[in-house]
Amino acid sequence: MSAITTEQVESRVIETLASFGPDVSQITRDATFEELDIDSLDLVELAQVVEDDYGVILKGEDMKELKTVGQAIDLIVSRAE
Amino acid sequence: MRVGAQMRRRVVVTGLGAVTPLGVGAGVLHERWAAGECGIVDGAGACTDFDPKEFLSTKEIRRTDRFSQLAMVASGEALEQAGWNGDYGGYDPLRVGCVLATGIGGIHTVESNHDVMRDKGPRAVSPLGVPSYMPNAGVAAVAMKYGIHGQTYGVVSACASGAHSIGSALRMIQYGDADAVVAGGSEATLTEFGFACFNALQALSQEGISRPFDARRDGFVMGEGAGVLVLEEAEAALARGATILGEVLGYAATSDAYHLTAPDPTGGPASSAIELALKDAGKSVAEIDYVNAHGTSTPLNDAVETKALKRAFGEQRAKQIPVSSTKSAIGHLLGAAGAVEAVATLSALRARVIPPTLGYEVPDPELDLDYVPGEARPLIMSNGHAPAAISNSFAFGGHNVTLVLGGGE
């Protein structure tokens, strides 16, 4: 698999989260999932997208610790390496 | 100890909401049906005027099947009319209930997720599948949206579901388990698979025409939509200054225990539902001014319903009472039908106008009641009493429900 850049992941995560409801302008690295009204069901859907696109498998316990968009992006990038 | 009627509380209607093939709104349903307009196009009663994006957020739409979206919008209209304005009409939220019916549930979601599984494997199925397609998804979505904290649950009895939900809500308030209940039903089954399944049963009109009680009727036309009522305990509703739109006077339900899909040909259990509902309401046959029939446009239903009405009212009285079918204007909304038809009946009583059975032109020699052919007519109240009507719902599975509805003073 070719190397995945943080920018690529960030763009994909923001696009996916925006499709769940929040306005794209609100979705920054520092934004918390709570602020964005992104809950556990949304994160399971995000995990499905990530698995589909990058082959990265995120389990429930991985997602539980995530509070911000940036943390999610960093986790995905680190797992993809 | 038998609980007598005197121990029960009165239940009034303070809000009506509907999304139907005639448009978004309870008012438009009555006005267009009474004007003789039909919402059926190409053999289906689709809610083509309904765009969920006009009413719901992206998040709400993504997390719900169409049947829940219809329920949320109809509930919103009913609650707005009741004037609750987010404060539960002043009721304790724990004393407010919600009972919403569906016959099928989220078939759009089942189908789309099944497609995903077939194409991409089981791991790709959405986590939103189950919470969207479960039959209680509609009531759950409405309870969450409006913060209803009392008893909330879904009701399932095929085409009697909507009427059963109103009956359940009536009892909840009558016996003091709740002070107000949002009740009704919704359905959205206009998919290729939905049509295939009902076609396999030979239940659908091959001509695509809904003409209940007409000699040429050849099946029902499937429709989609939602109907919702806000019910409140009468004294509390009056105390808070609510506008009383009508009253749920009585309810009864019976079961044919005869056949999975065909009605008992004697009409006996259906007739019993009507008789028991009248008794429950304390109404005589002389005090019923209108029958909103189940009237599906299937050969069997319309014949058996006619027979049941004659058994319950007596030949003579049955022939005097106007009988019309909402399904002639919007098709058969399955689990939503009983609720939408309760909305239509209450609107007719309130307007004192009986909408017609559209498309009824060729009388069936066996069916000899007054089916209100042609156009709407004024509601005539016998003896000057407050107007009252019954609304029938009969279902696959043999479920029979009759509601007795009052139009207020």
CA distance B232 to A58: 48
Q: Are residues B45 and B66 in the same domain?
A: yes
Token reading at B353: 């106008």
Q: Are residues B126 and B255 in the same domain?
A: no
Q: Name the pTM for this structure.
A: 0.96
Give the gap in angstroms from C-alpha A51 to the nearest C-alpha of chain B: 9
Please give the share of chain B, as a percent, with pLDDT higher than 70: 98
The ranges assigned to domains in chain A are 6-80
- Chain A residues touching B52 at Cβ < 8 A: none
What pLDDT, on a 0 to 100 scale, did the predictor assign at position B133? Answer: 98
Q: Are residues B205 and B345 in the same domain?
A: no
Q: What is the DSSP string of B15-72?
A: EEEEEETTEESHHHHHHHHHTT----BTTBB--TT--GGGTS-HHHHHTS-HHHHHHH
Judged by CB atoms closer than 8 Å, whether chains meet at B62 and A21 is answered as yes
Judged by CB atoms closer than 8 Å, whether chains meet at A21 and B57 is answered as yes
The two beta strands, B225-233 and B353-354, are unpaired
Instruction: Say if B397 falls within a structural domain.
Output: yes
Which residues, 6 or more positions from A72, have their beta carbon under 8 angstroms from its beta carbon?
A13, A43, A46, A66
CA distance B213 to B158: 21
Judged by CB atoms closer than 8 Å, whether chains meet at B59 and A51 is answered as no
Among B212, B239, B266, residue at a domain's last position: B239
CATH number of the domain residue B140 falls in: 3.40.47.10
Q: Minimal Cα distance from A40: which residue of B? A: B127
Q: Are residues B161 and B274 in the same domain?
A: no
Among B221, B239, B257, residue at a domain's last position: B239
What pLDDT, on a 0 to 100 scale, did the predictor assign at position B89? Answer: 87
Judged by CB atoms closer than 8 Å, whether chains meet at B59 and A37 is answered as yes
Number of CB pairs, chain A paired with chain B, less than 8 A apart: 25
What pLDDT, on a 0 to 100 scale, did the predictor assign at position B101? Answer: 98
Which amino acid would we find at residue B122? P
CA distance B66 to A40: 22
Give the gap in angstroms from C-alpha B59 to the nearest C-alpha of chain A: 5
CA distance B330 to B72: 20
Q: Are residues B104 and B84 in the same domain?
A: yes
Which amino acid would we find at residue B398? G
Q: Minimal Cα distance from B121: which residue of A? A: A52
| Secondary structure (3-state) at B245 | coil
Residues of B numbered 107-136 whose beta carbons fall under 8 angstroms of chain A's beta carbons: which are they? 120, 123-124, 126-128, 131
Instruction: Say if B3 falls within a structural domain.
Output: no
Q: Which residues of chain B have pLDDT under 50?
A: 1-2
Instruction: Indicate left, alpha or beta for B406 from its phi (over 0: left) and psi (-120 to 50: alpha).
Output: beta
What pLDDT, on a 0 to 100 scale, did the predictor assign at position A64? Answer: 86
Largest CA distance in chain A: 34
Catalytic residues of B: 159, 294, 332
Instruction: Say if B78 falls within a structural domain.
Output: yes
Q: Minimal Cα distance from B57: which residue of A? A: A21
Nearest to A45 among B120, B123, B126 (CB): B126
Q: Are residues B222 and B303 in the same domain?
A: no
Full residue range of the structural domain in which residue B53 is found: 11-239
Q: Are residues B136 and B256 in the same domain?
A: no
Q: What is the DSSP string of B95-110?
A: GEEEEEE-SS--HHHH
Instruction: Say if B1 falls within a structural domain.
Output: no
Q: Is B58 on the interface with A (CB under 8 A)?
A: yes
Query: Residue with structure tokens 């919008």?
Result: B73
Question: What percent of chain A is helix, strand and coil (3-state, nearest 5)?
Answer: 60, 0, 35
Question: Is there a contact between B124 and A52 (Cβ–Cβ < 8 Å)?
Answer: yes
Among B195, B211, B239, residue at a domain's last position: B239
Reported ipTM: 0.89
Split into its structural domains, chain B has a count of: 2
Instruction: Say if B5 falls within a structural domain.
Output: no
Q: CATH number of A6-80: 3.40.50.1220, 3.90.1170.20, 1.10.1200.10, 3.90.550.10? A: 1.10.1200.10
Residues of A numbered 56-75 whose beta carbons fall under 8 angstroms of chain B's beta carbons: which are they? none
Instruction: Say if B222 falls within a structural domain.
Output: yes
Q: Are residues B192 and B75 in the same domain?
A: yes
pLDDT tens over chain A, length 81 residues? 567 899 999 999 999 999 999 999 999 999 999 999 999 999 999 999 999 999 999 988 888 889 999 999 999 999 987
Q: What is the DSSP string of B296-362?
A: -S-HHHHHHHHHHHHHHH-HHHHHHS-EE-THHHH-B-GGGHHHHHHHHHHHHHHHTEE---TT--S
Instruction: Say if B289 falls within a structural domain.
Output: yes
What pLDDT, on a 0 to 100 scale, did the predictor assign at position B5? Answer: 53
Q: Are residues B340 and B213 in the same domain?
A: no
Q: Minimal Cα distance from A36: which residue of B? A: B59
Q: Are residues B291 and B399 in the same domain?
A: yes
Burial grade of A41 (CB within 10 A; 0-12, 13-18, 19 or more): middle
Judged by CB atoms closer than 8 Å, whether chains meet at B127 and A44 is answered as yes
Task: Given the residues A39, A42, A53, A74, select the one marked as catalytic.
Answer: A39
Q: Are residues B180 and B64 in the same domain?
A: yes
Burial grade of B405 (CB within 10 A; 0-12, 13-18, 19 or more): buried
- Is A39 noted as a catalytic residue in this protein? yes
Judged by CB atoms closer than 8 Å, whether chains meet at A41 and B58 is answered as no
- Chain A residues touching B128 at Cβ < 8 A: 41, 45
Instruction: Say if B79 falls within a structural domain.
Output: yes
